[in-house]
Structure 1
């Protein structure tokens, strides 16, 4: 259903026009004046202007009625709604279910109307206070009433018809993810305008061709003219950016700004750095524009069928578009959307960054196990796929699942994996996680190891030369069924540690930036749609409820697993290194766990060294924490 609110100062014809519109729409008409408590009516009869305190109960009543009408047939309401905060209180239903119709004219014209009106408790002398109070809305339909009633209604109907054809959301950037998200939105009943830049001989008619391709199933309005694209959107506008992170986002925002109005919203759905997101939100807020930095995970398929979505930034903005985002998100096992407001500033993009960091660790972990099996145990890709399939009956990991498909893919009868160059790259988010951990003073062993493994993989020619120089340190040997089981236990232990490290970084960032992050809810929206979804992620939803302030590794259930799997992990690392096979994530997981569980570390030597050469001071075990000491380590020769 739909509610139309006809607003403006007293005397603009709200009741007359509202009744005519109600007849057109075949819905009931209501006058907000009829809902005023008696004491408000008495004040206005005496010519006393109402104050905000007088309107509080009245607005609450109307807000409840609007919800009621929207659930039934809809309605037309005549209501002054002079201030923005009044209108916000009346907005008790989704913004898309309300149409605001602002009737206005010059003070003198309305005063003359009021002066000739009889038997109404509103006194003409109150009009001046209403014009003083009026805050003109930056949205809705605006009609000057200094014309005939027939013409006013005609203008309203024409504008409503035009508004009904406008899109609820605009999407800029029709790359792989942008196209998939646009189709996803349209499939959920959201009207979408799409824009892609025009570059001669490179990007030509991208948006138009996209709209043409999907014409039989969905209606997209396609543009390569930015002004027409913005004008095609409902006001206040919602614009989703799916462009490359970095300078491109700033350039797009810069080009949009002259065409935007107060309360328009920009959503950055790319992998932007969280500090850039916080900067952009602050900049746009000063201009009255809302901004959300929103992490989206799931790749092309997830974007099309349902990704995991991590919105951060303006909570006011999420209230407006959260329904759209939740509609297109994947669903967890309880049927709830894998989308939730994460927190202010750059929280959404920070959480997406750490998601990608955990993803780096999980991918490298699988790669290390594959590599050890393929070249040390000399297992075939099909044999490894069969083993991974057995493991995944328990793990239910998306990354293991796709690795199985990869290992079984053949080209001309040969395994395609053997034809792929062993040189990977990192696009930024993994490295950003490491930098963030350094800034926050949080250990990030597995994720950093995964990033560095990609970096060294890129040095292909140097690695080949070094292998020849050292005459290859790697050995080959069959492995037993017992070791296959031990390898699985090692993989599980390292995966648990990798997840714990990632969530520890999120927890510390939440404290540092006062984001009030809900770790359990973050795990929940990662249970489906995203790249790191798994059975363990589902376990983490409950585990993090129980230990939201501590490290995951201290939870009794996790302790039980790691106490059992520690020896397989350390044994696997030792065997791999002894036989000449690098396992950076497996070994960093083992080292992290040993460091984490060691009450006595080697850092006392570090502190002594620092004090020796730099007089940096140190704390003592036999003195209270917080007191610092310095020693003259080398006697001064007289």
Structure 2
């Protein structure tokens, strides 16, 4: 903007080329009546300009939907600028080219073939209301210097915002910065508790030297390019809703909020609809990998509006882990809620994998192995059952503190953050038998009853000094058997949810983004990428069928031995029980149906009646 003759068109065109965005000269959009009036030496009044300004405003709105643009226009009065930026105020940046009357008058006299005579320049200076929130540039500078100065001012804004600097938030910030993104970081200010968290964090790491640090929400939001991309890394639950309400007054239409926490998928659906009513996009995103994964490359599971995802994809896909083919372990999962749902299931599968390893190491200990020997045995398992969790468990049993192993000093009470609970609830609601996940969850709950366990142990403990009659190879095969059943149940839950909610999820693609970066990455997961290209039921895959048949005898023996010797192995036991149940042609449910009909007249279907007609019997023999 600026008075006629200040060089708006020249500078605007150069800037558009530099930024690789469209350029539009406002003069080209004047109606014929305006051009004729100015050509006759008459100044335009506000009524003359109104339609022209509205045309440019509509042009800007249309361009913003695609990307951005440069528009040059005199925009001399504040009310003109209000019309030009109507509906897109927070997405508009004003650049005011300034110069003296004499300087610009001389330029206009040298300008040929323009409909506005230099005599009207005086009226423009008289009309001009200097903008308060504009980048002011002196036209005495060369065009190259002007472009450089404009870019320096524009580029002060950050490309991506990270809200919440806990362990994961900090790692993601460093990941983004290491990948060359200009970011803004926010952490709340709490007197004497959380003070200058973002600034102190920035000072710790050289890669954050170009990052902006804030503890004021308004300043944080205004530091971001539009549409704004803000990723929330705060505790799931009500905290997310509080943060959203704090952000909303500062946001503009089409801004994007990404929830990267372990939120419940139902709440994600609600937040999506709520923010949509406010003109804000919401992307529920699962992020797995822990502190190290967040820093070096996590597995990322975004869902929501596909168009909004495309605007954050370059950031998420760049910072994600890469699979064996170099593709990002980040993909658009599906509609609202689906990303957080599969992250929830991921965590459920993770619960089981951890429980299985805990049971395996307990068996190895009962076989007489010390932690070093357990670590060596687990190391040998990697040839057949390699996984991230197996790797870290191998390391855990090596770690010593003084002369003793650290793992033996840890209190046997396992915590949880709720995702295993949600997965179990979702399984029940969808009618899917995710029995291993619920078993692993309830095992953690049992562990928390430490005092009661000690009391009951003194009452009921049966001393069994005989060792288990199993080999380490049988333990390995039982472990592999249970892992296949666990992955079957996890993906079965995802498939059922996809069908019920019409998400149209791609199981092969989900398995692919879980092959690296996430906690449950493994060679089995890599195998499932191709398996799911042929079927949605891995228990029908020929190779896996052969493995289950091979491993089942060992599983039966290990579980039986543990039961006989009073060794608790709930996940291994449930794996064989579930497998027997899912492969039983005629189950005991006929008795249950008869019972239901007896006491509640719930009816039953008959094997010898193909009509699917409900039957009821008076079972009372008296």
CA distance in 2, matches of 1:478, 1:620: 46
Q: Is the 8 A contact 1:619 1:625 kept in 2?
A: no
Deviation at 1:197, TM superposition (A): 1.0
Distance 1:479 1:576, change over 3 A: same
Aligned to 1:529: 517
Deviation at 1:446, TM superposition (A): 0.7
Which range moved further: 579-588 or 213-222? 213-222
CA distance in 1, matches of 2:60, 2:434: 47
Number of aligned residue pairs: 557
Aligned to 2:597: 611
- From 499, 514, 519, give the equivalent of 2:502: 514
- From 58, 62, 87, give the equivalent of 1:82: 58
Residues 245-287 of structure 1 deviation map (CA, whole Å, 9 limit, x = unaligned): 0010000001111111101111111100000111000000000
- From 323, 333, 337, give the equivalent of 2:328: 337
Deviation at 1:486, TM superposition (A): 1.1
Deviation at 1:558, TM superposition (A): 1.1
Q: Could you say which structure has the larger radius of gyration?
A: 2
CA distance in 1, matches of 2:453, 2:347: 27
* Counterpart mapping for 1:222-233 below 5 A: 222-233=213-224
Aligned to 1:546: 534
Q: Is the 8 A contact 1:187 1:218 kept in 2?
A: no
CA distance in 2, matches of 1:293, 1:506: 16
* Counterpart mapping for 1:1-400 below 5 A: 17-23=8-14, 82=58, 86-87=62-63, 91=66, 95=67, 98-101=68-71, 103=73, 105=75, 139-142=91-94, 154=136, 160-215=151-206, 218-374=209-365, 376-400=366-390
Distance 1:622 1:14, change over 3 A: farther
Aligned to 2:120: none
Residues 4-61 of structure 1 deviation map (CA, whole Å, 9 limit, x = unaligned): xx9xxxx998997343334468869998899xxxxxx9xx999xxxxxxxxxxxxxxx
Q: Do residues 632 (structure 1) and 588 (structure 2) align?
A: no
Which range moved further: 494-503 or 421-430? 421-430
2:272 counterpart SS class: helix
Note the residue ranges of structure 1 that are not aligned, 5 or more in a row. 1-5, 35-40, 47-78, 111-130
Distance 1:318 1:598, change over 3 A: same
Distance 1:14 1:489, change over 3 A: farther
TM-score, normalised via structure 2 length? 0.83
CA distance in 2, matches of 1:168, 1:32: 22
Distance 1:171 1:436, change over 3 A: same
Deviation at 1:206, TM superposition (A): 0.7
Deviation at 1:461, TM superposition (A): 1.3
Deviation at 1:603, TM superposition (A): 0.8
Aligned to 2:429: 439
Distance 1:388 1:204, change over 3 A: same
TM-score, normalised via structure 1 length? 0.81
CA distance in 1, matches of 2:291, 2:176: 14
Q: Do residues 412 (structure 1) and 412 (structure 2) align?
A: no
Q: Do residues 571 (structure 1) and 557 (structure 2) align?
A: yes
Distance 1:447 1:15, change over 3 A: farther
Q: Is the 8 A contact 2:508 2:528 kept in 1?
A: yes
- Say what the alpha-carbon RMSD is for the aligned residues: 3.3
Q: Do residues 589 (structure 1) and 565 (structure 2) align?
A: no
- From 498, 505, 523, give the equivalent of 2:486: 498
Aligned to 2:586: 600
1:367 counterpart SS class: helix
